Amino acid sequence: MVESPPPLLDVRDLRTHFATDTGMVTAVDGASFSVPRGKTVCVVGESGCGKSVTGRSILRIVDAPGRVVGGSILWDRDGTGDPVDLATLDPGGPDIRKIRGDEIAMVFQEPMTSLSPVHTIGSQIAESVRLHTDLDDDAVRGRVIEVLGQVGMPRPESRYDAYTFQLSGGMRQRAMIAMALVCHPRLLIADEPTTALDVTTQAQILRLMVQLQAEMDMSVLFITHDMGVVAQIADEVVVMYLGTVVETGPTEQIFTDPRHPYTRALLQAIPRFGQRRAGRALSIIPGSVPDPYRRPGGCPFHPRCAQARPGTCDVVEPATVTVAERRDVRCVLAAEEVHS
Amino acid sequence: MMTQFVIRRVLYMIPTLIAVSIVTFLVIQAPPGDYLTTVVARLEAEGQYVDRGQLDALRERYGLDESVWVQYWRWITGIVLHGDFGQSLVYSAPVSDVIQERLGLTILLSVTTLAFVWAVAIPIGMYSAVRRYSVGDYAATFVGFIGLAIPNFLIALILLYVSYRYLGQSVGGLFSPEFVDARWNLGKVLDLLAHLWIPVVIIGTAGTAGMIRVVRANLLDELNRPYVVTARAKGLPERRLLIKYPSRIAASPIVSTVGWLLPSLISAEIIVSVVLSLPTTGPVMLRALESQDMYLAGSFLLVLSVLTVVGTLISDILLARLDPRIRYGRR
Ligand SMILES: Nc1ncnc2c1ncn2[C@@H]1O[C@H](COP(=O)(O)OP(=O)(O)OP(=O)(O)O)[C@@H](O)[C@H]1O
Ligand code: SF4
Ligand SMILES: [Mg+2]
């Protein structure tokens, strides 16, 4: 067996908390997963489970009063085995700023509100290039027009001077993707980039992202709650529940052999007949997501778990066990299988 | 696009100006009896001789025997074509002579006050928003509420006392006695500046306190918007980010206040000017209204209204520069 190279990104026991006026929100509470080079990893889970906060924690752009309070975010850009721990950097300091937009870029859900309404898209994309390169004005402009063409923006020269309100939703999201890709990042974090778009445009944007990922040989951390999207684009899956990662593994294994009761419930919640908008149906899982201020003790899933064991699951936090290569499960049942 | 917008906006101004002038004319006409009746009554009350020939000339001049529209037409063309605002009763002089210098000082006072309000309120408001709930924010809030709560005349008295007691400056007015009737020279300008700050602070304090709240609230609204997070995710340093993105968008509602801030400053100016006996339009306006000197009062009204319309035009043009959606008629 070939020794696999160190992952591009390795998140260990990440904790991001919001000290709000009404109490502490443990949005991410001990999440661990990694992103291999050149692969697409999908993060899935119900609304509010901490997917977005996890993505933002990596770039250290969590909104106040949120703070990364624990764990490590190991960023190994060149595979030297000597990673930078992003979790220890000052979120307002120059070190993380050099990485943002250059080595790790992000695409957000709402292209309308995520782009400035009063600046042209060209100037917003160019800003990234100016920050991270020494190119002169003409070269910057050329680079921006080139990347606009790459993301399939028609007539990129004239679209340089367009404002967001002059573009359709799909074109705005292409501009957003162009902005993220213009400095050729090693990792693209995409936070539900297609959720706000209509179905046809969704499919186009997804195809575009798959194609660009291959062309540019970058890794993608794709956040979604749509299992249909996962099946379509993911190499690996990270399943999150209440701020924790409950299961990770290669996409095919997750779909054919889910080990965690929550993953199974997620998969059962997908409607048949190939209906794609599966994410909407996730609430079919019995019970509802607990109040973020009062996380249940023991296994966070135990109030809704059909296989929960009283006396164990509601008392002890289950350990994360590695059941196969790149395959972790956080459940007592999986732990017993491995030990027996 | 911008030029088109400005031309369109200037054209829109014309009907507004006509409406303003009609309203002003109606105000002039409002007191019972015509202008000459008032003149005659006044002269007779003072036991003066009334010259028939002079009265007839005035009657002819203002078209008092003709329809109201002819009167309006004579009045407005006199103003627009000859700068003739009519005759002031109280001062027995052409209105234009009475208001000219005072109007200049009023505009100077108002514009300086506006600059003072912005220069103080914008940095403090921005600081308060960015460092929300910090000691500095609470201090700004506290001082701001005090500024809003203390009446202008009290600030006036305090400042007068301070400037008289500790700065040894003459109290009230915009000039020291030796400069009042002097011609304009460097000394007079410096003397004016030395006096100007007192009314500026008095008139501007309440506005500054209010503006701090407005700036803070507007910026807070924008600070956590997704486009700010996007800019941060590009690696933009916080300070540049603040100036370039949220501040630019938060500035729009503030710029749009220029238009109506001017009249409110001018009305605040009336009271303060009376208290401080400033040679601005305020006291004259008050006197004109008291004594029904309608051409004088009406002229003030007209000029100040026109200034407000112009102020609105300026703020609209600034807004369009700030926000392309306005230029393209999307908002
Ligand atoms: N600014 C904030 N202040 C307080 N709590 C927050 C803040 N942002 C997120 N949270 C909390 O953190 C938790 C995780 O939120 P997050 O946005 O990561 O969920 P998500 O998995 O992305 O959900 P969705 O699918 O709806 O986007 C939620 O309970 C949310 O209430
Ligand atoms: S640990 Fe217990 S409660 Fe949690 S998922 Fe496994 S069986 Fe269910
Ligand atoms: Mg989210």
Task: Give the pLDDT score at B33.
Answer: 67
Comparing A103-107, B168-172, B272-276, B323-327, the range with the smallest average pLDDT is B168-172
* Residue from A118, A124, A115, A122 nearest B255 by CA: A118
Task: Kindly determine whether residue A61 and residue B237, on different chains, have CB atoms separated by under 8 Å.
Answer: no
pLDDT of B250 strictly over 80 = yes
d(CA B293, CA B95): 10
Which range, A85-89, B171-175, B177-181, B271-275, is most confident?
A85-89
Mutation site for B-interface testing, chosen from A56, A104, A112, A116 by largest number of B Cβ within 10 Å:
A116
Residues B249 and B193 in one domain: yes
In a domain, B225, yes or no: yes
Gap between the Cα atoms of A102 and B234, Å rounded: 7
Q: In terms of C-beta density within 10 A (0-12 exposed, 13-18 middle, 19 or more buried), how is residue A309 classed? A: middle
Structural domain harbouring B155? 101-290
Do B149 and B241 reside in the same domain of the chain? yes
Does residue B263 share a domain with residue B185?
yes
* Ligand 1 atom closest to residue A55's alpha carbon, by position in its atom list: 18
Q: Which residues on chain A are in Cβ contact (under 8 Å) with B230?
A: 106, 108, 114-116, 176, 179
Which residues 6+ apart lie within 8 Å of A292 measured at CB? A25, A26, A27, A48, A242
Longest CA span, chain B: 84
Mean pLDDT, residues B70-88 taken together = 86
Give how many domains chain B has, as a whole number: 2
Across A201-219, b (16+ Cβ under 10 Å) vs e yields bbebbbebbeebbeeeebb
Q: Is residue B6 part of a domain?
A: no
Q: Which ligand is nearest to the CA of A312?
A: 2
Contact (CB<8Å) B226/A110: yes
Beta bridge partners of residue A25, listed in sequence order: A18
- The stretch B152-176 carries a mean pLDDT of 76
Instruction: Give the gap in angstroms from C-alpha B203 to the nearest C-alpha of chain A.
Output: 34
- Ligand 2 nearest atom to the CA of residue A260, by list position: 5
**Residues B324, A92: C-beta atoms closer than 8 Å:** no
Which mutation among A53, A223, A241, A288 tests ligand 1's pocket best, with the greatest number of atoms within 8 A of CB?
A: A53
CB contact set of B122 (below 8 Å; sequence gap of 6+) = B211, B215, B254
* Domain shared by B215 and B241, yes or no: yes
CB atoms within 10 A of CB A93: 11
Q: What is the pLDDT of residues A190-246, one digit of tens each?
A: 999 998 888 888 899 999 999 999 998 899 999 998 898 999 999 999 999 999 999
Name which of A108, A163, A166 is nearest B226 (Cβ-Cβ).
A108
Judge: B325–A118 Cβ closer than 8 Å, yes or no.
yes
pLDDT at A101: 94
Q: pLDDT digits over A138-187, tens only? A: 999 999 999 999 999 999 999 999 999 999 999 999 999 999 999 999 99
* pLDDT above 90: residue B241: yes
Note the pLDDT of residue A282: 45
Which residue in B80, B71, B108 sits closest to B273, CA to CA? B108
Tell me, yes or no, whether B110 and B132 share the same domain: yes
For chain A, what is the mean pLDDT?
A: 89
User: With an 8 Å Cβ cutoff, are A61 and B325 in contact?
Assistant: no
Q: What percent of chain A has pLDDT over 70?
A: 93
For B325, the closest of A117, A127, A176 (CB atoms) is A117
Q: Write down the pLDDT at residue B34.
A: 66
Residues of A in contact with B229 (CB under 8 A): 56, 61, 63, 108, 114
For the residues B31-40, what does the mean pLDDT come to? 70
pTM score = 0.84
pLDDT category, A68, cuts 50, 70, 90? Answer: very high
Q: How far is the CA of A330 from the centre of ligand 2 (A)?
A: 8
DSSP B259-291: HHHHHHHHHHHHHHHHHHT-SSHHHHHHHHHHT
Q: What is the pLDDT of residue B35?
A: 67
pLDDT score for B255: 85
Helix (H, G, I), strand (E, B) or coil at A84: strand
Q: Considering only alpha carbons, which residue of chain A is nearest residue B224? A: A63
CA distance B52 to B54: 5
Compute the mean pLDDT over every residue in chain B, rounded to the nearest whole number: 83
Q: Summarize pLDDT for A237-287 with one digit per residue, the tens.
A: 999 999 999 999 999 999 999 999 999 988 887 665 444 544 444 446 677
- Check whether residue B62 and residue B106 sit in a common domain: no
SS3 call for A242: coil
Collapsing DSSP to helix, strand or coil, B251 comes out as helix
Same domain, B34 and B117: no
Query: Among partner residues A113, A119, A163, which is closest to B226 by beta-carbon distance?
Result: A113
Q: How far apart are CA A164 and CA B328, in angstroms?
A: 12
Domain boundaries, chain A: 1-103+187-257, 114-184
Element (H, E) at B201: helix B186-223
Give the residue with greater pLDDT, A340 vs A218.
Answer: A218
Does B306 reside within a domain?
no
At A19 the three-state DSSP class reads strand
> Is the model's pLDDT at A292 over the cut of 90?
no
Q: Is residue B4 one of the residues assigned to a domain?
A: no
Question: Which of A86, A109, A118, A184 would you mutate first to test chain B, the one with the most B CBs within 10 A?
Answer: A118
Ligand nearest to the CA of A303: 2
Q: What are phi and psi of A250, to 5 degrees?
A: -60, 145
Report the separation in Å between the CA atom of A45 and the middle of ligand 2, taken as the mean of its atom positions. 16
Cβ contacts (< 8 Å) between A117 and chain B: which residues?
Answer: 227, 249, 323-325
Which pLDDT score, from 0 to 100, does residue A283 have? 46
- Decide if pLDDT at B52 tops 70: yes
Within a domain: residue B309? no
Spatial separation of the C-alpha atoms in residues B97 and B90, rounded to whole Å: 13
What is the rounded distance in angstroms from the CA atom of residue B235 to the CA atom of residue B231? 7
Q: How far is the CA of A14 from the centre of ligand 2 (A)?
A: 21
- pLDDT for the residue numbered A21: 87
B144 and B253 within one domain: yes
Biggest CA pair distance of chain A: 68
Pocket test for ligand 2, best of A262, A295, A309, A320 (most atoms within 8 A of CB): A309
Residue B331 confidence (pLDDT) above 70: no
pLDDT one-digit tens code per residue, B23-34: 988 888 877 666
The predicted structure's pLDDT at residue B207:
83
Q: Is A106 on the interface with B (CB under 8 A)?
A: yes
For residue B48, pLDDT over 80 is answered with: no
Q: Which of these ranges, A124-133, B23-32, B270-279, has the smallest mean pLDDT?
A: B270-279
Three-state DSSP state, A331: coil
Is residue B307, in this structure, part of any structural domain at all?
A: no
The whole-angstrom distance between B147's CA and the closest CA on chain A is 29
Q: Which of B227, B242, B243, B255 to mutate to test the interface with A (most CBs of A within 10 A)?
A: B227
B86 part of a folded domain: yes
A15: which strand partners?
Answer: A29, A70
Res. A3 pLDDT band, cuts 50 70 90: low
Above 80 in pLDDT, residue A291? no
Those residues of chain B whose CB sits closer than 8 Å to some CB in chain A are: 224-227, 229-238, 245, 248-249, 322-325, 328, 330
Q: Does the Cβ of A333 fall within 6 Å of ligand 2? A: yes
Judgement on whether residues B48 and B158 belong to the same structural domain of the protein: no
Least confident of A90-99, A323-332, B90-99, B263-272: B263-272
> Does a structural domain hold residue B82?
yes
CA pair distance A39, A217, nearest whole angstrom: 8
- At B291, the pLDDT band (50, 70, 90 cuts) reads confident
What is the CATH classification number for the domain harbouring B261? 1.10.3720.10
Alpha-carbon gap, residue A152 to A289, rounded angstroms: 39
Instruction: Give me the DSSP letters along B33-67.
Output: S-HHHHHHHHHHHTT----HHHHHHHHHHHTTTS-
Q: Which ligand has an atom closest to residue A56 CA? A: 1
Q: What pLDDT score was predicted for residue B314?
A: 87
Nearest to B261 by CA among B204, B180, B183, B193: B204
Same domain, B242 and B275: yes
The SS3 call for residue A325 is coil
Hey, what long-range contacts does B134-139 have (CB within 8 A, 24 or more apart)? B137/B216
Fold exhibited by the domain A1-103+187-257 = Rossmann fold (3.40.50)
| Same-domain status, B74 and B214 | no
Show Cβ contacts of residue B125 under 8 Å, excluding neighbours closer than 6 positions. Answer: B140, B211, B212, B213, B214, B215, B216, B219
Q: Are residues B112 and B83 in the same domain?
A: no
Cβ neighbours around A270 below 10 Å, total:
20
How far is it, in rounded angstroms, from Cα A186 to Cα A78?
9
